[in-house]
Each structure stands twice: as structure tokens, then as C-alpha cells.
């Protein structure tokens, strides 16, 4: 599969600029992680606060809005094996990322940077969750943040 992105909209307007940004960010993520030849893709859903709250409650038992949710399809060890064994084309979904567009707008304003920067960060953040990274401990957070900032810097998407 040449396509790395499947995009869906739930209760929010379609936006070609957002799609283009998301595609660019995911292409860089796949390239940086040496996954661009594996045939994997990411399903991204852009949505509203009420929908992401419903999904957050249904799957995580947390009844509140959030900015991004990630649902990986593989364990980290499986992804590491795919990267190591580059000749096997997988043709599968790496996972799902769900983003609340309204929350992205709110946070961009709160953090004093552009909507595009915040959306790019949400996609990179979601991607690394799909890769098996987390931020539950300080050490995990340090590793994940470094990876996220590396991709954003390569794209010249700064605060």
C-alpha cells in the first residue's frame, strides 16, 4: 500500500489543509522510524469533543473530553521486528488516532502557538503511542518527547 493515511471525519468539517498537514507529518514519522517501506498506514479520525469523550469513556472508562486517543494494532516488539525485517511488506493498519479538532484549537490558543503546530503535535504524539511509546514515567516521557520533537524539528514545525 502506498497510502499511509486513511482519514475520517465525525461531526466536524472536512479540511484539505488539515489532511495535507497530517499526511506530511505521518510521512516524516514513518521515514524517521524507518517504516516508510513497510506498507503500514494510520487511520486518523478528526472529530468533536462529544464524540472523543464517548470513545474515551467507552474504551478507557474516563468520562471526559481529551485531545487525542490512540489505538495501536501491534505490540512494540512486533513493530521492532517489522522494522528489523524490512523485506516483509505488511499492508496493515498501524493503528487509529482520534483527534478532537476543537480541543486542538483550544490548546493552540492556550499554549500560544498555531493550530497547525498543535495538530502536528497531536499526530506525532498519537503516532508514537501507536509505536508502543508512553509517558507514564519520567524516563518514558523523556524518550517519547525527544522522538516527538525530533520529527517536528525535521519538519520545521516549532512553537
State pLDDT tens for residues 27-65: 999 999 999 989 999 999 999 999 999 999 999 999 999
Q: For 51-110, write each residue's pLDDT tens digit.
A: 999 999 999 999 999 999 999 999 999 999 999 988 777 789 999 999 999 999 999 999
Distance of CA 78 to the CA centre of its chain: 18
- pTM value is 0.94
99 contacts: CB under 8 Å, gap ≥ 6: 44, 45, 46, 47, 52, 67, 68, 119, 122, 123, 126
Answer yes or no: are the C-beta atoms of 21 and 44 closer than 8 Å.
no
- The CATH number assigned to the domain with range 5-154 reads 3.40.390.30
Between helix 138-154 and helix 115-130 the angle, nearest 10°, is: 130
Nearest residue to 132 (alpha-carbon basis) of 122, 121, 120, 144:
144
Domain ranges of the chain: 5-154
Amino acid at each position: 500500500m502506498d497510502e499511509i493515511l486513511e482519514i475520517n471525519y465525525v461531526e466536524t468539517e472536512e479540511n484539505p489543509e488539515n489532511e495535507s498537514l497530517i499526511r506530511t507529518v505521518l510521512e516524516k514519522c514513518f521515514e524517521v522510524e524507518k517504516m516508510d517501506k513497510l506498507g503500514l498506514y494510520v487511520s486518523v479520525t478528526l472529530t468533536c469533543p462529544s464524540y472523543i469523550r464517548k470513545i474515551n469513556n467507552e474504551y478507557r472508562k474516563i468520562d471526559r473530553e481529551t485531545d487525542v486517543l490512540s489505538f495501536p494494532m501491534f505490540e512494540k516488539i512486533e513493530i521492532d521486528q517489522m522494522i528489523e525485517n524490512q523485506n516483509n511488506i505488511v499492508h496493515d493498519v498501524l493503528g487509529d488516532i482520534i483527534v478532537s479538532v476543537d480541543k486542538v484549537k483550544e490548546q493552540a490558543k492556550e499554549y500560544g502557538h498555531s493550530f497547525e503546530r498543535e495538530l502536528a503535535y497531536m499526530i506525532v504524539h498519537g503516532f508514537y503511542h501507536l509505536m508502543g511509546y508512553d509517558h507514564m514515567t519520567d524516563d518514558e516521557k523523556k524518550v517519547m518527547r525527544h522522538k516527538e520533537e525530533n520529527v517536528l524539528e525535521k519538519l520545521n514545525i516549532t512553537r
